[in-house]
Structure 1
Amino acid sequence: MMPEIAVSHPLAPSDPSERPTGQAMLRSALGRCPACGEGKLFRSFLKVADHCPACGEALHHQRADDGPAYLTILLVSHLGAPILLACYVAWRPSAMTMIWTFGLGAIILSLLLLPRIKGAFVGLQWARRMHGFDDLAPRSGS
């Protein structure tokens, strides 16, 4: 008789307390704590709170850095360029009209997307236990 060998699927959660990545990213993109979904993630426009006011989860570990800004620029420019070309071909507006409308549109879209993308980055880091979000990591001050 052959001994049974436990084989785990590479995509299966190896830890029973696995954090759902999609749910954490969605909660954070909506400006809520990735752990509980109740507390506010940001204490100002883009400043992540040190701790969740609802569940106390430490959020100061996040290292979103320039990732959200790069992704925002990528999305806004890839959305804006084809629309700009289509509007120019269809209506031939003046240069000033194009500058004002697309400049204002890019600014508004960037301001709307940036906190949501940064929140999703924080949620991804929390769910994947990156940058100190691991429960097993040594605590500072202990």
Structure 2
Amino acid sequence: MPHAYSDGMLPERPLKPAMLRGALGRCPSCGQGRLFQGYLSVSPACPHCGEELHHQRADDGPAYLTILLVSHLGAPLLLAIFMMYRPSAMSMLIGFGLGAVVLSLLLLPRIKGGMVGFQWARRMHGFGAGPAVIEAAAS
């Protein structure tokens, strides 16, 4: 089944700016309104431009990418620190445990915002497909 925008009915949305706006916690459409109500809950609509944001389906994707990034950054660093300085096991556990938690808390909303921006730019999960577009695509 072809997408509504593949037939040229809807203009393409720029991917990179939408993802950057989302990663900064801003509306992927206008870049002005706040994307999140709290830490990770996406606002139902942009308070600035009115773009509906409740269509997003980030689910577990941001968590998986966060774990992937934190582990791939932390593991080589852990090995390098251990080989250079030989700290105690307890200091390694405390230092890298806190580092992983802080890095995860910093990355998670940025990755989720980027995913919402990606979904908005690609018109996934109902972004940009109003009733008129759905009816036109069905006929």
Please say whether Structure 1 and Structure 2 have the same fold, judged by a TM-score greater than 0.5.
yes
Matched, 1:17 2:18: no
Q: CA RMSD in A?
A: 1.7
SS at match of 1:72: helix
SS at match of 1:131: helix
Aligned length: 127
Q: How does 1:38-77 map to 2 (within 5 A)?
A: 38-77=32-71
Q: Provide the residue aligned with 1:10 in structure 2.
A: none
Given candidates 97, 121, 130, the residue that maps to 2:124 is 130
1: CA distance, partners of 2:98 / 2:44: 33
Matched, 1:118 2:112: yes
Partner amino acid, structure 1, of 2:20: L
Q: Provide the residue aligned with 1:81 in structure 2.
A: 75
Q: Provide the residue aligned with 1:29 in structure 2.
A: 23
Q: Where has structure 1 moved over 2 Å in runs of 4 or more?
A: 14-17, 134-138
Given candidates 90, 108, 114, the residue that maps to 1:96 is 90
Pick closer, same or farther for the CA change 1:71–1:40 going to 2, 3 Å: same
Pick closer, same or farther for the CA change 1:90–1:52 going to 2, 3 Å: same
Deviation at 1:18, TM superposition (A): 1.3
Q: Unaligned regions of 5+ residues in structure 1, if any?
A: 1-13
Instruction: Name the TM-score, length of structure 2 as normaliser.
Output: 0.87
Residues 33-62 of structure 1: CA distance to partner in whole angstroms, max 9, x if unpaired? 000000000000000000000000000000
Q: Percent same amino acid among aligned pairs?
A: 68
SS at match of 2:70: helix
Partner amino acid, structure 1, of 2:100: A
Partner amino acid, structure 1, of 2:121: A
Structure possessing the higher radius of gyration over alpha carbons: 1
Residues 71-126 of structure 1: CA distance to partner in whole angstroms, max 9, x if unpaired? 00000000000000000000000000000000000000000000000000000000
Partner amino acid, structure 2, of 1:99: L
Q: Which moved more, 1:128-137 or 1:85-94?
A: 128-137
Deviation at 1:16, TM superposition (A): 6.2
